[in-house]
Amino acid sequence: MRKENSEFKTAFVSEAGSFLRNRDFYGCVELEDWACYVIADGLDTDTEVNSAQITVQTILESFWKSQPCPNAD
């Protein structure tokens, strides 16, 4: 199914809970034939490390790099 055949609307809602700062993270990559949506729950109590953000970015980067080059023969 290609983009022309379907429409996706995305949104992200998260609640900080008892922490002062919400550390959840969401990201997505949409290509012509593929898409990758990643949600990570920020569980760390270390205020210097954003593990959910690092996780999402690493997964999306890996997904992006795994895609074949569109102009490759």
DSSP state, residue 11: -
Place of tokens 């970015």: 57
Q: What is the pLDDT of residue 3?
A: 57
Q: What is the pLDDT of residue 19?
A: 65
Q: What is the pLDDT of residue 37?
A: 93
For the chain, give the longest Cα–Cα distance: 53
Q: For residue 50, which amino acid is it?
A: N
Phi then psi dihedrals of residue 43, to 5 deg: -100, -10
Q: Return the SS3 of 39.
A: strand
Number of other residues whose CB lies within 10 A of the CB of residue 7? 6
Q: Which residues of the chain fall short of a pLDDT of 70?
A: 1-5, 16-20, 44, 69-73
